[in-house]
Structure 1
C-alpha cells in the first residue's frame, strides 16, 4: 500500500532523486500509468481510501493510483497552480460552490459528454450538479453531499405532547409555539443564519441573486425573498437566538447542550458535539428534514459537499475519467455514504442510508437541495456578507424592503466586478 502524503512533501526533492522521489516518473512502475488524485482532508476515512485504492488497482493493473490529501486552508491557490501547469494532479476534489471560480480560468476539462452518457446525471442532486455547471457545460462531477436538518430533543417534544415531527411549515410553527414555554426555547435560531434563510427564499421561488443580460442583481428585495425572510422572522422569534449573531456566536451546539432548547437547525454531525458537552442527551436526539410549505415536499436546503474536476492540462484524461467513474459508481457511493454518513450524489441512492435516522433526514432534504449563485465572485460576497446585517436589521424592526435594497446593491456590486 502506498503512503498518502501531503503535497508539500514533494516540493524540495533533490536532483539525485528526481526520477524516483514522489513519483516523478510518468508511471509508478514498469508498464504502469500514474494517476494522481487529490482529496480533501476529512472527506473520506483512511479505511475507505485503502479499500478504494486496493480495489481500483486490482481492477486496473496498468494504473498506479496516487492519492494525495490536501488541507482546505489555502487549497484555492494550490488548485490554480495545477490548472496553470505548475503542479500535477489528474482528478481534484473541490467544494461544490468552488467550481465556478476554477472554470473561469478556462483551464478545466469539460465532462458534459461523460456526465450525460455514463454517470447518470439525470439523478444527480441539484445542489451538487448545478454549481458544477457553467454556461451549460458540466465541469464538476457530484461526489457527496451534506446539508442541514432539524435536530430536536425527544424528551422536550414528548413533554409538549408532540408525537411526530412536523411535516409542513404550518405544523412546524404550531409545534414550536407549544415548545416555547417558560424557560424552554422552542427553537434556537441565530439571527444571521443566512444558509437557513436561503432555503426559505428558495421555497418561495426566490433567489439570493439573479443574472440577466450579462448582469447580476441581488434578489433579496423580490416578493418571494421577502416572504422567505418573513417566515424566518416568525420562526426565529420562538427562541432566544441573538439577532446580531450567527450560529457560531455563541456556538448553537453549546446552547442546545444545556437541555432547555427543543430544536436547532444544523448538520447531523453536530450531534456528536452536543453529546460530548452533555452526555445525558445521548439517545435523546432526533432528526427530521426542514419542513416545506406542503406535506408532499420537503423544505429547500443549502447543499454542501464536493465535486470532482479534471484539469484541462492533464495528459491522462482517459484515466482520470475512469477514476471518477469508479468514485461515483453505486458500489463506492454506497460505501462512502455508509462509512462517512454522507448523502450519495444521486437521489436514487438515498435508500442506501435509510437505516440511519440522521443521514436519512439529510437525504430527504437533499432532494430539494440548492447551492449559492454560480458565480466566480460569490465567495467575495460571502467574505463581507451583506445578507447578515440585512437579516439583523429586519429582525430588529427595520423596513424589510429598504434593508434588502442596501444588501442587494452590495451583492450586485461584487458580482458585477470586471464586467
Structure 2
C-alpha cells in the first residue's frame, strides 16, 4: 500500500517530492531492535538481516545486543514517553511482559496477531503472559522448558525398557534406580519451577486473581497434591532440601556419575558431558511425565516475546520486523540453530530430530508461565515458595506451611495490605 500510494503521487504530480522517496531511491527507515545476548547466533542475525532488508527495501535493521543484567531498568527507561531515539522492537522474557505493559507503555498488537501471525497456534506459556485482557502486547518468539535428562545405561541396568510416561511409572522407575549407591533422581528441595508444573497438573495454581485481587493459593487441595508428589519424588535421591538446583549446580552433581536423572533444560547435557566425557552418548531425554499417558506433564515455559514500545516512531515498520522474526520461516530457523522450541505447536516437527528439543516441545505444547501480574517479580525477590518447600521436606505440616506461604505471596502481590 505504501509503495502504491507513493507511485500514485508521482504520477499525478500531487506531491513531486514523493517521487524522490520511492524505495531504493531514498534513505531507508532504520528500525532499531534490541535482542538479548545469546538468544540468536551472529550468523543467524546476519542471514535474517540480509533477507529482511532484501524483502523490505524501504527499511534498514539496526540490531543491538543487550545483556540480561540490568535489562529491566534499561527497558523501563526506554519505554518512557518522550525518551528519545529508543528501540522500535524489544526482546523480553515472556514473564516480563506484564511488567512492561503496565501503564500503557507497549503497543497493542492484537489486530496483527489475529490477522496474520497464527495466534491460535501459539504456545500458551509464551502467549498468555503477553496478553492483558483482550489485548496482545507480547508476540511469542521462542521457548525453552525443563525435561528429564537421564542415564540410558543406568535405566538399562535397572531393567527399564523405556522412559516412564506417567507419574506413577516415574516414581516406580525412580525407586528402582535409587539403589546400589546411585541416586534415582537428583532434585533440589527448592526447585520451585518443577514444583509449579506438578501443581498445575493437579489443577492448582501458585496464585489466582479474583475480583481484581491476587491471592496466593498454595494451600488449596490441588496445590497440596502437587507438593506431595514433589516430596515423594525428591526423597528418591540426595538433593539438598534447603537449596535450589544451582546450589550446588546440578550439572556438576550429575556429571559425578552417581545420578540417574535430573530435571533441567536439555542444553545442560552439554555442560555435563564437558565435565565428564565418559557420559558422551549415554544421556537421553524425555518429557516430564503427566498424570496419565495421554499427555506429558505441565511445565513452566520460559523463553522470549517480542514487544513494540508505544513510543516507537514507526509502528508499521516495527511490526514488520516482529512478523518476520516470529513467522514460520525464521522462527523455525532459529529453533533449529539454537535448539529452541518454535513459537507454535504446529512447528514442533521442525525440531523432531533433536531428542532433547523434541522432549521440550512435547511439554511446551501445554506449558504455562508464572501468574500474570507485574507484582510477581516482588514474589520472586524473596521467594516464599522456596522456604515452604524446605519446611515441608523437613517434615513440617504441609497445610500449615502452605497457608503461611500463601499469605506471604498475597502480601507481595498486594503491597497495600
State the Cα deviation string for residues 46-78 of structure 1 (Å, max 9, x = none): 000000000100111111111011001111111
Match of 1:119 among 108, 117, 120: 117
Query: CA offset at residue 107 of structure 1?
Result: 1.2
Query: CA offset at residue 365 of structure 1?
Result: 0.8
Query: CA offset at residue 30 of structure 1?
Result: 3.4
Does 2:203 correspond to 1:205?
yes
Query: CA offset at residue 90 of structure 1?
Result: 0.5
Report which stretch shifted further, 358-367 or 72-81: 72-81
* Matching residue of 1:59: 55
Match of 2:37 among 33, 38, 41: 41
SS at match of 2:300: strand
> Contact between 1:37 and 1:68, CA under 8 Å: does it hold in 2?
yes
Match of 2:78 among 60, 82, 85: 82
How far apart, in 1, do the equivalents of 2:265 and 2:65 lie? Answer: 24
SS at match of 2:128: helix
Moved over 2 A (4+): 27-31
Query: CA offset at residue 29 of structure 1?
Result: 9.3
How far apart, in 1, do the equivalents of 2:293 and 2:363 lie? Answer: 13
Q: How many residues align?
A: 393
Report which stretch shifted further, 189-198 or 72-81: 72-81
* Matching residue of 2:155: 157
Query: CA offset at residue 182 of structure 1?
Result: 2.1
Query: CA offset at residue 368 of structure 1?
Result: 1.9
* Matching residue of 2:233: 235
* Structure 2: gaps spanning 5 or more residues: 1-22
> Contact between 1:243 and 1:396, CA under 8 Å: does it hold in 2?
yes
Does 2:273 correspond to 1:275?
yes
Question: Which structure would you say has the larger Rg?
Answer: 2
How far apart, in 2, do the equivalents of 1:277 and 1:94 lie? Answer: 31
Match of 1:287 among 285, 289, 312: 285
How far apart, in 2, do the equivalents of 1:331 and 1:179 lie? Answer: 43
* Structure 1: gaps spanning 5 or more residues: 1-26
Does 2:407 correspond to 1:409?
yes
SS at match of 1:301: coil
> Contact between 2:24 and 2:58, CA under 8 Å: does it hold in 1?
no
SS at match of 1:105: coil
- Once the two structures are superposed, the pairs formed by residues 143-154 of structure 1 within 5 Å of their partners are 143-154=141-152
* Matching residue of 1:70: 66
* Matching residue of 1:377: 375
* Matching residue of 1:8: none
Query: CA offset at residue 154 of structure 1?
Result: 0.7
* Matching residue of 2:139: 141
The TM-score with structure 2 as length reference comes to: 0.93
How far apart, in 2, do the equivalents of 1:79 and 1:136 lie? Answer: 24
How far apart, in 1, do the equivalents of 2:25 and 2:307 lie? Answer: 26
> Contact between 1:190 and 1:246, CA under 8 Å: does it hold in 2?
yes
> Contact between 1:28 and 1:64, CA under 8 Å: does it hold in 2?
no
- Once the two structures are superposed, the pairs formed by residues 304-383 of structure 1 within 5 Å of their partners are 304-383=302-381
Query: CA offset at residue 135 of structure 1?
Result: 2.3
How far apart, in 2, do the equivalents of 1:51 and 1:418 lie? Answer: 50
The TM-score with structure 1 as length reference comes to: 0.92
Does 2:101 correspond to 1:93?
no
